[in-house]
Amino acid sequence: MGRPSEFQCVPGLRLESLERVHGLQVETLTERINRLETLMERLEKRLWLTVYGVVAVILAQAFQGFLAVGQNALGS
């Protein structure tokens, strides 16, 4: 009977398979974290656009108010 050139025990094979599974899990989690970071960056950009929009509306209303007061002062 021929002997295998390399003896592989069951615990060693199990450990190797667990290491592969662990590596896949870490890779998957890393991908998920990267996707979440991208989504958070997009959300942050949208939030700032909303804030700038609200500020622009407030400033436009204030400017309109100044124009109305100026026209009333000139018309009187």
| Confidence class for position 12, pLDDT limits 50, 70, 90 | confident
- pLDDT at 18 exceeding the cut of 70: yes
pTM over 0.85: no
**56-72 per-position pLDDT tens digit:** 999 999 999 888 887 87
Distance CA 65, CA 68 (A): 5
CA 44 to chain centre: 8
> Strand, helix or coil at 67?
helix
- pLDDT at 41 exceeding the cut of 50: yes
